């Protein structure tokens, strides 16, 4: 097999095809040879039986008490090697009669048969035989024919295999040339699919699916890069502008404190943006380390609402958690806490003043669900499919102060813990974000 690796696939297929045809021909020749030999030997046995039937009544007792051939039985042609010979003897005794009498050619490859014949009260043994040289000669001629035909047949099979392989691999060559022209700037193009039902068509479909995924990834990367550049530029520009104003004008202590405070606000926003990007980057690369153990999600939800209660009080909102009994899941508490915090923070941010934010935890035998419901403006269908994208905002004008990564981080955190996140929303009504996680198998 190592000798076949450097050569082309077409040549390898042709060689395998020629080898397969050669093996098939050898097996076929072996079967024909065995059948032909058995048939010829069967015919030879039939002639031996005829020889016995001709000889069993061809001898009689002589006047001296011995045996003699009858007058109507003639010697076979002793000059022909295929001529039969016959011997008559008593059981275990010497040969009494032999035909042909001129020579004994039993040193040649003979096929013999032994019969018994009763003459009067005495039993005699008849041994008849014929030479196998004729059979061997015909078998050698048959083998010679097979040998002379095998090599040309294998050569023709190899050449035909190359033609068939070239035609079979032609679509792959076309796909290769087409795929070679598809670059990062031309990901909208696809490989042609001639027959989606055969193996090559399935290969083309898989290649097109891969190119589609690459196209989506490149588009997402371009959007992410553009959005990240824009988001990073905004606080940096604000810091630069505030710094230039602070340096260009004289201020008292309170004025400088205000300038520094404005710069710290932008730095805080920049830090949150960088932290969010690092979290998503670790999640994408699979380097987000988790310490998964049984976690009471009801207690975790109460901790989050207690931490964010100050924000809700500023908008006179009520925060409730249901139920009170603990419900355990297998998760990393810190990572899951971040996901719940982002959802509750969004619910407070987009909920109107005096509204209610409810965190409800329910469970089945296999799963636990954390549902965060607000009374905000709702999310339309066109935005619902994209709200988990990075830097995507339903209403950019209302997202001032955020970095547009909260839902993306929540989705990454939930999926890292083996769960999923869903959203149900009605425009002008309310929105419910549901975190669904597998229940803990450990007894707590």
Q: Which of 172, 173, 153 is nearest to 161 (CA)?
A: 153
Convert the pLDDT of each residue in 207-257 to its tens digit. 889 888 888 878 767 766 766 666 667 677 777 777 777 777 776 777 777
CB 407 within 8 A of CB 361: no
Q: Which of 313, 317, 310 is nearest to 357 (CA)?
A: 317
Distance CA 273, CA 420 (A): 24
The 3-state secondary structure of 163-192, one letter per residue: HHHHHHHHHHHHHHHHHHHCCHHHCCCCCC
Q: With H, G, I as helix, E, B as strand and everything else as coil, classify residue 399.
A: coil
* Confidence at residue 230, expressed as pLDDT on a 0 to 100 scale: 60
Tell me the CA distances in angstroms from 168 to 9, 73, 99, 113, 362, one per residue in order: 11, 72, 69, 59, 58
Weakly modelled stretches of the chain, pLDDT under 70:
1-6, 71-82, 101-108, 220, 223-224, 226-232, 234, 251, 269, 272-273, 276-288, 393-404, 441-444
DSSP string covering 189-204: -----S-TTSHHHHHH
User: Residues 31-66, buried b or exposed e (16+ Cβ, 10 A)?
Assistant: eeeeeeeeebeeebeeebeebbeebbebbeeeeeee
Count of C-beta atoms within a 10 Å radius of residue 211 = 18
Convert the pLDDT of each residue in 86-102 to its tens digit. 888 887 788 888 887 54
* Confidence at residue 281, expressed as pLDDT on a 0 to 100 scale: 64
- Tokens for 191? 């490989």
Distance CA 65, CA 72 (A): 20
Q: Which positions ≥6 away from 99 have C-beta within 8 Å? A: 55, 69, 73, 75, 76, 85, 86
Distance CA 54, CA 50 (A): 6
Q: How many residues does the chain have?
A: 444
């Amino acid at each position: 097999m190592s000798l076949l690796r450097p050569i082309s696939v077409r040549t390898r297929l042709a060689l395998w095809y020629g080898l397969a045809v050669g093996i098939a021909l050898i097996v076929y020749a072996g079967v024909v040879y065995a059948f032909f030999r058995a048939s010829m030997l069967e015919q030879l046995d039939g002639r031996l039986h005829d020889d016995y039937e001709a000889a069993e009544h061809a001898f009689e007792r002589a006047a001296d008490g011995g045996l003699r051939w009858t007058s109507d039985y003639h010697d076979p042609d002793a000059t022909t090697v295929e001529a039969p010979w016959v011997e008559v003897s008593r059981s275990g005794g010497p040969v009494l009669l032999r035909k042909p009498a001129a020579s004994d050619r039993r040193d040649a490859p003979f096929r013999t048969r032994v019969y018994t014949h009763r003459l009067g009260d005495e039993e005699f043994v008849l041994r008849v035989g014929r030479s196998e040289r004729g059979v061997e000669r015909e078998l050698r001629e048959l083998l010679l024919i097979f040998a002379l035909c095998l090599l040309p047949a294998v050569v023709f099979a190899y050449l035909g295999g190359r033609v068939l392989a070239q035609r079979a691999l032609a679509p792959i060559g076309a796909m290769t040339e087409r795929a070679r022209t598809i670059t990062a700037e031309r990901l909208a193009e696809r490989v042609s699919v001639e027959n989606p039902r055969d193996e090559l068509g399935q290969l083309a479909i898989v290649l097109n699916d891969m190119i589609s995924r690459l196209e989506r990834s490149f588009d997402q990367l371009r959007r992410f890069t553009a959005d990240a550049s824009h988001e990073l530029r905004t606080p940096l520009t604000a810091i630069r502008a505030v710094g230039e104003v602070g340096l260009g004008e004289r201020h008292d202590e309170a004025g400088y404190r205000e300038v520094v405070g404005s710069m710290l606000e932008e730095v805080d926003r920049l830090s949150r943006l960088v932290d969010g990007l690092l979290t998503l980057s670790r999640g994408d690369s699979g380097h987000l380390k988790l310490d998964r153990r049984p976690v009471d999600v009801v207690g975790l939800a109460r901790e989050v609402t207690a931490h964010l209660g100050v924000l809700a009080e500023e908008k006179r909102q009520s925060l409730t958690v249901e139920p009170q009994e603990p419900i355990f899941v297998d998760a990393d508490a810190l990572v899951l806490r971040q996901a719940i915090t982002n959802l509750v923070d969004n619910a407070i941010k987009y909920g109107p003043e005096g509204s209610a934010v409810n965190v409800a935890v329910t469970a089945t035998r296999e799963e636990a669900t954390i549902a965060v419901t607000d009374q905000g403006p709702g999310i339309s269908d066109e935005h619902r499919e994209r709200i988990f994208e990075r830097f995507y905002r339903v209403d950019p004008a209302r997202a001032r102060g955020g970095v547009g990564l909260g839902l993306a981080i929540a989705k990454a955190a939930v999926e890292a813990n083996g769960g999923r996140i869903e959203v149900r929303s009605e425009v002008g009504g309310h929105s419910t974000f549901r975190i669904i996680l597998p229940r803990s198998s450990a007894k707590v």
